[in-house]
Amino acid sequence: MIKTTLTLERFSPHGDLLEKREQESRSWLKHFLDLLYLPCARFDYTTNDIGGTPRGLCGFIDSTSAWGTLKVASTPGNTQICVHTASGGSAAYCRDTPQKGEDIGIVVGTGNAAVTPAQDALQTKVNHGEGAGQLLYGGCELYGLTFADPNGQFTIRRYFTNVLGGNITIEEVGIYTPGVTGAIPNPTTSCYIFCAARDLTGGVLVANGELLRVTYVVQITV
């Protein structure tokens, strides 16, 4: 069984911990299973991206190159992240499709609508930036893969900095991940973004200059 803990920590501009909230994450969505189903079953499958548009995703390519579907680790903000795609069904045609770092990994938002399994996106994502209502997205890290019977875990973490955004109340947190389009054996060089998880926070106010650290710990127990 897999359980996930979500922790939100708010820090002052000087690095002092101002607030810490820990809760059980309840919200791995259908799109997480959609993207796990693709390699598991080796079937193509169509599901909605974060814009609510159905996208035909490729289940398999007989290639030993990396494959971008279900990528969660990400680069900061609007720096480029390469998502591994392909065309022609061969490793020789593998491509790196550029995306923005803020569109993959942990994301935050201000919407507080209830979570349902089949929803496509955060209600109101806070975008990366230094303007009003924006936060600087750090890189999304994966680390801490450890085991001690009967448990195992790893951590997904991202920092968000409020530079000049005014007060922003984070009501929702989620995980975005890409899926590679196309059909077996011919994937395309395109990918789209899907919402794998979404949780409500109860509201965490991040003031100007403050920093928010969001941490998911994914744990299995035998």
Partner 1 sequence: MGTEIKAIPKLDVIKEEEIPHILEPGEVGAILELIVSNKDGKVTEQRVLKSKSFVQQFLQLLFVKFAISPTVAPISIRDTGNTLRAVYDTTYTFDTAAGVTVVTYGIIIGTGVVAPTISDYAIGIIIPHATMNYSACTYGAPAADATTSQFTITRNFANVSGGPVTVNEIALYCRAYYTAAIGYFMLIRDVIAGGIAVPNGQTLTVNYRLQAIV
Binding site for partner 1 (CB under 8 A): 1-4, 24-30, 32-34, 36-37, 39-43, 45, 47, 60-68, 70-73, 84, 115-118, 142, 145, 147, 149-154, 156, 177, 218, 220-222
Phi-psi group of 101: left, alpha or beta (phi > 0 → left; psi -120 to 50 → alpha; rest → beta): alpha
Write down the least CB distance from residue 32 to partner 1, Å.
Answer: 6
Total Cβ atoms within 10 A of residue 194? 26
Q: Which of 179, 177, 178 is nearest to 56 (CA)?
A: 179
In the bound state with partner 1, the residue whose beta carbon lies nearer, of 74 and 161, is: 74
The span from the first CA to the last CA of the chain, in angstroms, equals 7
What gap in Å lies between CA 147 and CA 149, rounded to an integer? 6
Write down the least CB distance from residue 25 to partner 1, Å.
Answer: 6
Write down the least CB distance from residue 10 to partner 1, Å.
Answer: 23
In the bound state with partner 1, the residue whose beta carbon lies nearer, of 36 and 207, is: 36
In the bound state with partner 1, the residue whose beta carbon lies nearer, of 145 and 164, is: 145
